Structure 1
């Protein structure tokens, strides 16, 4: 179907088909769940430190634990339910990155390990990695230039 209306008519048509989003509920869910994930991360860091790990090791262990938890919840089908309620609250933390890779791997495992799991795992996470690395290079160059003066 070819759409021949002008931009304003198309925007009105698109808006009429889009579901209305309850903004306050979305913000509250994202804040509560995202905050809970961050609180869990802080508790893990404090726990690892109390067990004798130094600051750097505690941070590493916390990241690994949160990634493993995100993968486990994705495999059990619980992360999608949590994300439906929390929205960006589950997308932004490292658990969201783990979910994006794990859910793609789970979904495409029937296509094999190379063309299914291996290729499709980075379908969502790939652009995040590319732009993350690109931004870090740009910021690194800016930082380097500012330290010259």
Structure 2
């Protein structure tokens, strides 16, 4: 087994030989794909406002639900993973990235059955996000309420 000093020396020796990541191209891909997902969201909002008479205050709910459904379906058939490999962080736009994380965790354990596999692991990743979101909403709500009282 190599010592820590040997490992560090080896890492320094091979560093010049490693290819440099294409940062600009990666950022451009993330920007274009993330922007395209947002354009789809905007188009869905216009669709719901035009054909279902939603207002600007309440059109966000069906838009988010539709984006979640689309991302979950694309994850289920394996397309969203390819989008993620191509776009990197651009595919992690909050709503669709969250849907992908939840669906991926559930699909990983589908061989264990519906209850012990899918249902048990469905919120393995999402549970922490939901709890943190609820706690953060409470804390910021209390801060806002305190400012409202004081000012």
Match of 1:121 in 2: 122
Q: Which moved more, 1:127-136 or 1:80-89?
A: 127-136
Match of 1:84 in 2: 85
| Residues paired across the two proteins, number | 144
Q: 1:61 to 1:28 in 2, by over 3 A?
A: same
1:111 and 1:130 map into 2 onto residues whose CA distance is 26
Structure 2 counterpart SS, 1:148 = helix
Whether 1:104 and 2:105 are equivalent positions in the alignment is yes
Runs of 4+ that moved beyond 6 A = none
1:20 and 1:127 map into 2 onto residues whose CA distance is 35
Runs of 5+ consecutive residues of structure 1 not aligned to the other structure = none
Runs of 5+ consecutive residues of structure 2 not aligned to the other structure = none
Match of 1:66 in 2: 67
Match of 1:130 in 2: 131
How much does 1:20 deviate? 5.0
Whether 1:39 and 2:61 are equivalent positions in the alignment is no
Match of 1:54 in 2: 55
TM-score (norm 2): 0.82
Structure 2 counterpart SS, 1:123 = coil
How much does 1:115 deviate? 2.0
1:22 and 1:103 map into 2 onto residues whose CA distance is 28
How much does 1:34 deviate? 0.8
Structure label with greater radius of gyration? 2
Q: Which moved more, 1:103-112 or 1:77-86?
A: 103-112
* Cα RMSD after superposing both structures: 2.5
How much does 1:30 deviate? 1.2
Q: 1:135 to 1:115 in 2, by over 3 A?
A: same
TM-score (norm 1): 0.83
